[in-house]
Chains A and B, each alone.
Chain A
Amino acid sequence: MELPVDADIVTLPECVICNRKKCRTAPVWKLDICEYGISYVNDGQTIQRANASGTLRHLAQNLRHELNKVLQVVVSEACKIDPSVSTRRIIPSNPASKIVGAALIIDHFINMISGVNDFHADPVKHSQLGECIALVDVVEKCIDIYGIIVSTHRAASMKVQMSVSDTIEIRYATSIVEYMIAVLIDNTYKHAIDESLVRIYVENVRADMIDLVFENQSKLLQQPDRIFAKGYQEKKTSDGFGFGLFWAQILVDSYNAGSESECRMQLCHEQDFLSVDYEVGLQRFIIRNIRLA
């Protein structure tokens, strides 16, 4: 059994591409390729791996490296229009702020669409050098940012009821939490019934952790158990390709991989019936066990 001729063969005890490491349980001497494009074979003692010529990781790094500076140009030019704009808070009625918001959406998508596999870091504990951020600021920013996108497939407006105290702060893996919230907010805009009530609140508050709940009203899901499956779309005409919630689960893996806590983060979904004719459902997405600062 041989690996490809142009393969860059490495033999390392640990692969840093993903946390699941399904390759470890591969039958001996059975050549296979994982979902990240890495071909591997178990020789009975170690896992021999060969990177594909253009892995998702390479694409992600290049895209992020090349486009981030362009996005900074966009942000800098927006500052010339209005020097008071900030990436911390987007004001949709301010054109310069909207430009900054659009740049942030692209930045989010670059990190998620092309780079989400990059979150499969080796199990080094997440640095504690990050700043404390109020969770409510992250949620409000994402609501404002993703409200910029206007489409017939998205809710034009939602009544957002937020009950997240500004004293709730996060410090651990704040980027990952922000991306997860961005996915859930964007998902809400895509599927919530126009003008319906969206509730965002905290429950199960403990000394060091909380659960964050996103509740919206949408068309009833026929296969709610598949909602996190890769490429799953309830309706084929919906905005997107059905990858957002799948990626959010990968972010959960990454969050847990670097965490010392035994209490693992989870992303859960529940559906309740709202209308008598079973057409409208109440969707609850819960991020469980977010660590507090």
Chain B
Amino acid sequence: MKITLISKASAILTQYVQLDIVIVDDNSSYFDEAMIKAAKTHGLGRIKRLYQVDRSVLNELVRNPPDVVILDVKGTTSEDVAKDGLDLAAHLFKATSSYIVVTSAHKHHLTNRTVTVDYVLEQRLLTVVDFLQELRKIRDDCLSRKKRFYQKLGLRAALMLGKLAVTHS
């Protein structure tokens, strides 16, 4: 039983490397509770849902950058912080190691303007299933491009747990 548990823990740790994700969108219809709950259940991240970025939130994002920041372009920044979400995204992209994602209902504006981000979430209308798929893509890309040591750390822990399982068997 104990060995099975350790093995399972090892497998889970390998497969799911928890990321700290901050989602900023002024409208609660998007990235709603059901989506966030499903993401947490599937081990796709520790998610913090915000509605606007003011000066104190910005300082926190820069001081303690999360692994992933998902930003709506319009209505998510106060005037003293940035012109819009895209400007904020560009600033965070340069100032932090966070994986920056932007989204907007005006999606072709995202692809028609040079944006300095890691990923453009083009589909604005999302079901829970769509959101989980997008999060998996973001997680995998983030781990491969920006968070390699997390993946290695997770794998080392998984291997250690795996060895423990073999030793005790």
Do B107 and A175 have beta carbons less than 8 Å apart?
Answer: yes
Chain A proximity of B3: nearest CB distance (Å): 34
Interface string of B74-113 (1 = CB under 8 A from A): 1000000000000000000000000000000111111111
Q: Is the interface of A mostly helix, strand, loop or mixed?
A: helix
Assembled-state Cα–Cα distance A173/B125 (Å): 18
Assembled-state Cα–Cα distance A73/B34 (Å): 12
A119 cross-chain contacts in B, Cβ below 8 A? 108
B108 cross-chain contacts in A, Cβ below 8 A? 111, 118-119, 121, 175-176
Chain A proximity of B31: nearest CB distance (Å): 10
Do A258 and B112 have beta carbons less than 8 Å apart?
Answer: yes
* A31 within 8 A of partner (CB): no
B112 cross-chain contacts in A, Cβ below 8 A? 121-122, 124, 126-127, 258
Assembled-state Cα–Cα distance A111/B34 (Å): 27
Assembled-state Cα–Cα distance A79/B130 (Å): 11
Stretch at the interface among A36-44, A81-89, A200-208, A267-275: A81-89
Do B74 and A72 have beta carbons less than 8 Å apart?
Answer: no
Q: How large is the interface on A (under 10, 10 to 19, 20 to 34, 35 or more residues)?
A: 35 or more
Do B111 and A87 have beta carbons less than 8 Å apart?
Answer: no
Do A103 and B125 have beta carbons less than 8 Å apart?
Answer: yes
Contacts A64-B105, A69-B27, A87-B130; is A129 near B125 (CB within 8 Å)? Answer: no
B137 cross-chain contacts in A, Cβ below 8 A? 131
Closest to B110 in A: A127
A residues 36-93 touching B (CB-CB < 8 Å): 61, 64-65, 68-73, 75-76, 78-80, 83-88
* A104 within 8 A of partner (CB): yes
Chain A proximity of B122: nearest CB distance (Å): 6
Do A130 and B29 have beta carbons less than 8 Å apart?
Answer: no
**Total chain B interface residues with beta-carbon distance under 8 A:** 33
Closest to B27 in A: A69
* B5 within 8 A of partner (CB): no
Assembled-state Cα–Cα distance A65/B125 (Å): 12
A122 cross-chain contacts in B, Cβ below 8 A? 112
Do A75 and B129 have beta carbons less than 8 Å apart?
Answer: no
Select one of B74, B109, B120, B129 contacting A130, CB under 8 A.
B120
Do A65 and B74 have beta carbons less than 8 Å apart?
Answer: yes
A188 cross-chain contacts in B, Cβ below 8 A? none
Select one of A64, A73, A84, A174 contacting B106, CB under 8 A.
A64
A180 cross-chain contacts in B, Cβ below 8 A? none
Partner-B contacts on A (CB < 8 A): 61, 64-65, 68-73, 75-76, 78-80, 83-88, 100, 103-104, 107, 111, 118-119, 121-122, 124-127, 129-131, 173-176, 258
Partner-A contacts on B (CB < 8 A): 27, 29-30, 32, 34, 38, 74, 105-115, 117-120, 122-130, 133, 137
Contacts A64-B105, A83-B38, A127-B112 supplied; 17 other A-B pairs, CB < 8 Å: A65-B106, A72-B125, A75-B125, A79-B128, A80-B34, A85-B129, A87-B130, A88-B130, A88-B133, A100-B127, A118-B109, A126-B112, A129-B118, A130-B120, A174-B122, A175-B107, A175-B111
